[in-house]
Structure formats: structure tokens, C-alpha cells
Amino acid sequence: MLGYDDKRNFFRMMVNSVCELKIKDDESTRTAQAVCKDISASGMSFELDEGSLELGTLINVYIESTNSQIPSLTADTKVVRCESIDDNSCSVGVEIIEMK
């Protein structure tokens, strides 16, 4: 039987890189740092040192490239999954809306 990860439409690349977030929710826009765990053509996941994010929250994600041959990544995303890791952090899955 195929597991959930085997049913994905796009290959996920493990990244484990620091990313800068601009989180836009109903109350304000704030910045935060997270660790991007993986990325695919349609989404990414990261670990964030915050309690949780609401589904549908818009986030601009920026990952600086450490290689001069590969451009930095900037993407507008939307939260589609947020699972608590502990009281102070969560695992967030986002859908990529637009790459910039």
C-alpha cells in the first residue's frame, strides 16, 4: 500500500535552511525566522518557534541562496497545515501561490 508521501504530485527536496517569513494575518504583518525543512513545486514545510498559525494565513517566504549560481527564493504562500510540535513551536505546511 502506498503511504501518503508516495502519493504526492511533486518530488520534495530536503532543504533544512533558515528562512525569513512575513506573516500577514487579520491583526498585523510581522516577521519571523523559521527552518525550511523541505520544498516542492507546489509547497514547502518549515518549523516555526510560535504556538500555531491559522489555516489560510498568508506568508511571504524568503530563503537566501548560499550558492552564487542558484538564485534566492521568494514566494507568496498560504498555510494549509499547522501541527504543534510542543508548546513553543509548530510544523507548518504551505501552498505556494506565486514564486517571485
What is the pTM assigned to this prediction?
0.84
The per-residue pLDDT string of the chain (100 residues; one tens digit each, 9 = 90 and over) reads 444 445 555 567 788 899 999 999 877 899 999 999 999 989 999 999 987 899 999 999 999 988 889 899 999 999 999 999 888 899 999 999 999 8
Q: Report CA dihedral (75, 12, 82, 64) to the nearest 10 degrees.
A: -40
In the chain the domains, ranked by start, together with CATH numbers, are 4-99 (2.40.10.220)
Give the C-alpha separation, 45 to 14, whole Å: 10
First to last CA, the chain: 38
Maximal CA-CA distance, the chain: 44
